[in-house]
Structure 1
Amino acid sequence: MSTIELGGLRENVRGRVIDREDPDYDDARSVFNGMIDRRPLAVVKVSQVTDVIATVGFARDNGLDLAIRGGGHSAPGFGTVDDGIVIDFADRIGVHVDPEDRTARSEPGATWADFNHATHAFGLATTGGIIGSTGIAGLTLGGGIGYLARKYGLSCDNLISADVVTADGGFLTADENRNADLFWALRGGGGNFGVVTSFRYRLHPVDIIYGGVIIYSAEDGETVGEFYRDFIAAAPEEFGAFYGFHQGPPVPFLPEQWHGTPVCVIVGAWTGPLDEGEKAWRPLLDAAPVLGSFLGPLPYPALNTLFDPLQPKGMQAYWKADFLRTLSDDALRVAADFGSRIPSMECANHFYPIDGAVQRVAPDATAFSYRNVGFAPAIAGQWHDPADDADNIRWVRDYWEALHPYAEAGGYINFMDADDQSRIADNYRTNYARLADVKATYDPGNLFHVNQNIVPAASVAG
C-alpha cells in the first residue's frame, strides 16, 4: 500500500499513524509475546472514538485485516497482524471512578494495574486478572477470572455497559436495555462484535485484603491439591485462591535452595474482616510442609501485581486451557507429574475455581457458558530464549493432552492459543449458535476475525 493511501487514513484521525518507515515502528508493532513477529501496514494510536470509527472504516473499505490491541497481553498475539491495520489503545488508559454509586468507567487501553490504582483510592475494586499488566478489555470480553470471582462473579458479570464501534462504523451503547443482544455477546464472546471504546463496571468494597502465597514442594503437589479441592469447596466466598505449579521464585521468604526448582503454590486473598484473615489461611499452612510463605494484610492492588516481575514483555509464550468439572484424583496426578517438570521460571500452571457467585449466573445469561464446572486450568508456557521453543511448547502440549481426557470439551478463551480455533464451538456450548447470530447482525462480513473467531451465521449474514 502506498504512502498516499495511508495518507488518507492520516487525514481522518487525530492520533498517530505509525507505518513501516517510522522510527517507532518496531516498538509500535511489538506485543507481549515475543514469539509474535508480525508487520502491520500501520499501527494507529487512537486518541478518541472518531479515530476508531475512521480506522475501522479504512480497514473495512480496503479489505484489510484489523487487529485490536488493548493491553497487548494476548498469548496468540491477536493484538497485531501482518499487512493489516492495528488499532492501539495504549494511550487510552483513563479510569473515572464514581465512589457514590460504586461504578467506574474505563478506557480500553487500561491494564488491571491502572484500573486498581484508580479504584483503590476509594477502597473499591471489581474482579480483575491475576497479572497487573493484563488489559481490562481482553480479560473482560473473554469472561474475566480473578481473585474476587467467588464473591463477586467474573469481570464480565460486573460489566454494566459498553460503548462499541461496529463494523459498519456505527457507535452503540450496549447494556441490559439498549442493544441487549450485543451486551449479552460481549460478556464472554471476545472481540468478535466490534471495538469497545469504553467499559463501565460495578465496584465492590475491597480495600486491604489478607493474602499472599504459600509455597510447597512439587513432590507434595497431589497432597496439596487434594486438600485445596476440599478446602475451597467449603471456604466462604470471601476466600479467593488458586492452586498451581511454578519454579521457586528468587524471593526472600523462600530459601535459596528452592529457587528455580519446581514448587507447588496456593495464591489468593481473604476479603472478609481483616482480623479473620490469619485464621482463614491457617488450614492451608498445614496442608503439607511449607517451604516458604508470604501472608498478611496487603492492599488489593499489591496482590494483583504480585507476579508482574515474572511477566516481562517480550518473552516467548504458548498457552493451553480447559474446564474441569472437578479437580479429580486423576487430574491431580497429571498436574503433579507435569508440575514437577515445569520447564522455566516464568512458566505457570494454575487451577482457578469456578464457583460461588460465578455459578449463580445462568449458563445462558451471558456468552460465558461454563458456569457449572469446578475449575479452569491454565497451562502457560513462557520463557526467554527462542532456542528453548520446542521443549517448552512440547511440555505445554503434552500436559494438555494428558489432562484433557478428564476435562470438558471447551476451555476458557483467554487462556487459549492461536491453534485452538477448532474448539471455538465447544468453548461456548449451546450459546454458540446465538453468538453466531449476533455476529451476523453486527459483523456480517467478519471484519473482526483476528481473535478466537466466531463465524457469522450464514442464514442471517446472507
Structure 2
Amino acid sequence: MPSDRRDFLRLTAFAPLAAALPLGGGPLAALSAPRPADWAALGRGLDGRLVRPGDASYGAARRLYNPAFDDVRPAGIAYCANDADVAECVRFATRYDVPLAVRSGGHSYAGWSTGTGLVIDVSPMRSVRHSSGRAVVGAGAKLIDVYDRLAASGVSIPAGSCPTVGVSGLALGGGIGVVSRKYGLTCDVLESVRIVTASGATLTCDANHNADLYWASRGGGGGNFGVATSFTFRTHPIREVTVFFLRWPWAKARKVVAEWQKWAPAAPDALWSNLHLTREGGGPAVQVGGLYLGGRAACENLLDRLAGRIGATSSRYVRATSYRQAMMIMAGCSSYSVSQCHLPGSLPGQTRDGRLVRDTFEAKSHIAYRPLSSAGIATLVAKVAAPGDHAVLLDALGGAVGRVGPQATAFPHRAAVFSVQYYAHRAGRAAWLRDAHAAMTPHFGHHAYVNYIDPKLTGWRTAYYGPNAPRLARIKAKYDPARRFRFPQAI
C-alpha cells in the first residue's frame, strides 16, 4: 500500500479521537479498548493481513509451536508485510494501550510470542538475498529456508538446527548452532539489523549507527527493544561436510559424559558436537552427534580418539554429504524435501505439504563454565534414567565462540564449555524438570541461555545476561521508556 493511502486511512479512522482530545502537544491519552471499527481500520491500513477472532484462519493463526499455549486467544494477529506495517501496529497498540507480543517462529519456550492483545507476526518478511559475502534476511525467515536459499549461492551463516525457528529470535538471543565453534554465534556475524522501536521509528543499527541498540541486539534477547524486521549477516562459503552419530550402551553413560566434555570443547574448531542423554519412548540412551567441516577420513580420526577413551559403540553412523543436506539431517528432515520440512498450513511460514508436527514440552537450561565432576556426572545420569519422557542435551561451545569478549556483544557466556538443555514431555514433565534442574545447579551454577527462556527461573537477569544486564537496562530505558515491549522477563 502506498504510504499516502496508509496515512489517509490511519488519519480518517482516528479523526473522532483527535477531535475529542485537548490540544497542547502532549501524548495521546489511551482509550480503554479499541472498538471493532478501530481494529477494522488497522486491518485496512496494513499491506499484510490482520486476523481476528471469528475469522476462518484465527484458530490456526493463534497457535505457537507448543500446543501447551493453545488456550491463549489474542485480540488480533497482524501478519506484517514490511516495516510500515510493524510501525502501524506499534502505534495502534500505544494509542489504545493494547498489549504487544512479537512472533517470528513461535518457539518461545514460555509462550511469550503470543498474548491477549496484538501479536505482531513477522513471518511474511522472509526474503533471503545474498550478494558479495553478505546475506540480507527477513526477520520472519525460518532457518531451513535460510539454509536452503543461501546454499544456492554457495554460502551459509552459523545458525541452529530446529528448522522452523525464526532467524530473528535466534540471532537476537545469541544463536548457538551447528557451526558455532568455527564461525561463531549467529549474532557474531550480524553486521546490521533494522528495528521498529516503541516510538514507531524504523532504525538501522550497526557499529556506526545506533551502536548501543546494535550491541543489545547481539544477545540481548528478542522482544525487548523493538521489532526486528531485517538482518544483514556475513556469510561463509560452504563445502562438503561430514555428519556423525555414535551411540553407546547406557551402562557407559557416565564414561561418555566424562570423556565427551573433555574432547568436544577442545576439538578442532571445524568439529561441533552434542551429547544427548534421553529417556523417550523406552529405556535411557546416550548418543554423541555432530558435524565436521571436512572430509570423512579426518572426521573418523577425531571420532576414534573419543571412542578409544570410552569403548566400543553400539552403533556408528558417519557420512560425507553436502552442507545443505547436513542441515536437513540436523533438522530431522533427511527424508523430506525443504517444503515438507515445515509445519503444514497456508499461513506465512507454513507449507501445504509440510510434514512436521507441533510438540508439547517444557524446558530449562544451564550454561556450563567448567566440566562436571564425577559426582555431577553421576547425578545427571541418574536424573535422566528416572522414569518419564525427557532428555538432557549438551551442545559444545569453545572455539570461535570463546574468542569474543563477554562484553563485546550482549551475549555474556563466552567462557562456557557447553550449553545444557533439559527437555521434558507429557505427564510429570514439570516435576522432572524442576527436580533435575535443581539437582544440577550446584554443579553448573546459575547461568542460563535466554533463547531457552524459562518462566520459572529465579535470578534470570544475571543468569541470562551476567555483567551485561545493567547496560541492557539502560538501553531499554532509552529506546522503550514506557515499556511498550514487556513480558514477565522483559529487560
Give the TM-score normalised by structure 2: 0.84
Determine if contact 1:217/1:262 at 8 Å carries over to the other structure. no
Whether the aligned pair in 1 keeps the contact of 2:240 and 2:294 (CA below 8 Å) is no
Number of equivalenced pairs: 433
Q: Which residue of 2 aligns with 1:156?
A: 187
2:465: which partner in 1? 428
> How far did 1:368 drift?
0.6
Mapped contact 1:320–1:415 kept (Cα < 8 A):
yes
Q: Secondary structure at the match of 2:91?
A: helix
Partner of 2:87: 53
Letter in 1 for 2:368: L
The correspondence of residues 342-353 of structure 1 with structure 2, limited to 5 A, is: 343-344=388-389, 347-353=390-396
Paired position in structure 2 for 1:234: 266
Relative to structure 1, the CA distance from residue 207 to residue 123 in structure 2 (aligned partners, 3 Å threshold; closer, same or farther) is: farther
For 2:287 and 2:228, the matched residues in 1 are separated by: 36
d(CA) in 1 for partners of 2:420 and 2:162? Answer: 16
Deviation string, structure 1 residues 385-404 (Cα, Å, up to 9, x no partner): xxx2xx11111111100111
Whether the 8 Å CA contact 2:265–2:418 is kept in 1: the answer is no
CA contact (8 A) 1:131 1:305 kept: no
Residue 252 of structure 2 aligns with which residue? Answer: 220
Q: Please name the residue that 2:339 is paired with.
A: none
User: Is 1:337–2:374 an aligned residue pair?
Assistant: no
- 2:324 and 2:363 map into 1 onto residues whose CA distance is 25
Secondary structure of 2:320's aligned partner: strand
> 1:314 is matched with which residue: 341, 353, 358?
358
Q: Is the 8 A contact 1:210 1:278 kept in 2?
A: no
Distance 1:451 1:301 in 2: 38
Q: Which amino acid aligns with 2:43?
A: R
Question: SS in structure 2 opposite 1:306?
Answer: helix
Unpaired runs of at least 5, structure 2: 1-33, 334-342, 344-355
For 1:35, the equivalent position in structure 2 comes to: 68
TM-superposition CA deviations, 1:229-279 (whole Å, max 9, x none) = 22124311111111121247xxxxxxxxxx733211111111034552222
Aligned to 2:160, the other structure's residue is in SS state coil
Of 434, 440, 459, the residue aligned with 1:397 is 434
Change (3 A) 1:274 1:452: farther
Local SS of the residue matching 1:322: strand
TM superposition outliers: structure 1 runs of 4+ over 6 Å:
none
CA contact 2:46–2:85 (8 Å) conserved in 1: yes
Alignment check: 8 A CA contact 2:295 2:320 kept:
no
Partner SS state of residue 264, structure 2: helix
Report how far residue 97 of structure 1 moved: 1.5
Aligned mates of 2:54, 2:253 — CA distance in 1: 52
Q: 2:300 aligns with which of 278, 281, 286?
A: 278
Tell me the residue number matched to 1:209: 241
CA distance in 2, matches of 1:80, 1:433: 27
The code of the aligned residue for 1:278 comes to E
Among 480, 483, 486, the alignment partner of 1:443 is 480
Match runs of 1:11-160 below 5 Å: 11-36=44-69, 37-82=71-116, 84-98=117-131, 101-160=132-191
Tell me whether 1:367 sits opposite 2:404 in the alignment. no
CA distance in 2, matches of 1:341, 1:117: 39
Q: Deviations over 1:83-104 (max 9, x none)?
A: x000112222211112xx3221
- Please report how far the alpha carbon of residue 155 of structure 1 lies from its aligned counterpart in structure 2 after TM superposition: 0.7
The verdict on how the C-alpha distance between 1:106 and 1:13 changes in structure 2, with shifts beyond 3 A counting, is same
After superposition, the Cα gap between the structure-2 partners of 1:205 and 1:280, relative to the gap in structure 1 and judged at 3 Å, is farther
- Distance apart, 1:307 and its partner CA: 5.6
3-state DSSP of counterpart to 2:367: coil
Matches of 2:397 and 2:445, distance apart in 1:
13
Q: How far apart are residue 313 of structure 1 and its match?
A: 4.1
Which is higher, the Rg of structure 1 or of structure 2? 2
Cα distance, 1:421 vs. partner? 6.2
Instruction: Give 1:35's aligned amino acid.
Output: A
Deviation at 1:380, TM superposition (A): 1.7
Which amino acid in the other structure matches residue 440 of structure 1? A
Deviation digits for residues 98-136 of structure 1 (CA, Å, limit 9, x no counterpart): 2xx322111111111011001112332221112222221
Once the two structures are TM-superposed, the CA of residue 353 in structure 1 deviates from its matched residue by 2.1
- Hey, what's the Cα distance between the residues in 2 that align with 1:352 and 1:308? 15
Listed one character per residue, the Cα deviations across residues 139-177 of structure 1 (whole Å, up to 9, x for unaligned) are 111111112111111111111110010000001101111
C-alpha change, 1:309 and 1:279, in structure 2 (3 Å) is: closer
Give the secondary structure class of the aligned counterpart of 2:243. Answer: strand
Kindly state the Cα deviation for residue 416 of structure 1 after the two structures are TM-superposed. 2.5
Contact 1:213–1:267 at 8 Å: present in 2 too?
A: yes
1:266 aligns with 2:298: no
For residue 320 of structure 2, the aligned residue among 287, 297, 302 is 297
Aligned match of 2:226 = 194
8 Å CA contact 2:110, 2:455 repeated in 1: yes
